[in-house]
Amino acid sequence: MIMLMGVAGSGKSTQGRLLADKKGYAWLSSGEILRVLVTGTRRQEMLKGKLLNDIEMIKIFDKVFELINPADEFVLDGFPRTLKQAHWLMDQVKAYRLDLTAIFHFKASDQVVKERLLSRGRQDDTDEAITKRFDEYKHVTLPILEWFKEMGATIYDIDASKDAETIHVEIMSLLNVKR
C-alpha cells in the first residue's frame, strides 16, 4: 500500500491516478469512493465540507479492502484522515491484511491549494468548505503523519506546488529507491 496524504487540492488524486496507471496498481481514492457511496443527508453534509465520522469511514474502507487482493500493491489516496482511522489502518498492517510500502505527504501553500480547488469547479469546493478543510487538515490530519513516523513508517514529503509530471518523476524515483 502506497499512501498519499495531504490537504484536498494538493494533487493526491492526480498523482494517485498517474501512479496507478503507470504501475498497474489499484487506485483507492477516498473522495471518489465517498462521492459514489454516500447518499442522502450525509451526502449533503459532505458537500458542505463535513467529514464522515471515524466509524463510517472505517466501515467503508473495511468493505473496500475486501474487494481487492491485499497481496497486490495499491495506491490509497486520502485515507486515513484522523488518528483513530490511522490506528485502525495500522492494525490491518500488523494483522498482515495490508502491507505499507510508503507514505507520500503532499505539501503546498494554502494559496496554491485554494486556487486549485476553486478552479476545478466542484460543488463542494466553496470558500467555507475549503477553510474548514484547511483547519481540519492542520489540527486533525497532520498529527497522523507524526504518529506514522513514530510507528516507523517511511514518509516522503513532496513539494506539491510543482507541476504534475515533475512530482510524478520524483515519486517514481523514490519508490524505486525504496524497493
> pLDDT tens across 104-151, in order?
999 999 999 999 999 988 887 888 888 988 998 899 889 999 999 999
Q: Residue 58 has what pLDDT?
A: 97
pTM: 0.90
Q: Give the residue numbers spanning the domain of 123.
A: 2-178
Residue 5 pairs in a beta bridge with: 105
How sure is the predictor about 49, in pLDDT bands with cuts at 50, 70 and 90? low
Closest CA to 46 of 126, 137, 145: 126
The total number of structural domains in the chain stands at 1
| 74-77, strands of its sheet edge to edge | 26-29, 74-77, 2-5, 102-107, 155-159
pLDDT at 54 over 90: yes
Cell numbers placing 142: 497532520
- E-strand ranges in the chain read 2-5, 26-29, 74-77, 102-107, 155-159
Q: For 55-78, how does the pLDDT look when each residue is reduced to its tens digit (9 = 90+)?
A: 999 999 999 999 999 789 999 999
According to the model, what pLDDT value does residue 129 have? 84
Kindly tell me if the per-residue pLDDT of 179 is higher than 70. no
**Alpha carbon of residue 38 to chain centroid:** 17
Query: What is the structure's pLDDT at 10?
Result: 93
Q: Which residues, 6+ apart, have CB-to-CB distance to 133 below 8 Å?
A: 7, 8, 49
- Buried b vs exposed e over 104-138: b needs ≥16 C-beta within 10 Å? bbbebeeeebbebbeeeeeebbeeebbeebbebbe
Backbone torsions φ then ψ of 50, nearest 5 degrees: -80, 130
Q: In the prediction, which pLDDT does 50 show?
A: 75
* Cβ neighbour number for residue 58 with a 10 Å cutoff: 20
What is the pLDDT of the chain when averaged over all its residues?
Answer: 92
Give the pLDDT of residue 80. Answer: 95
Here the CATH number for the domain that contains residue 39 is 3.40.50.300
- What pLDDT was estimated at residue 46? 81
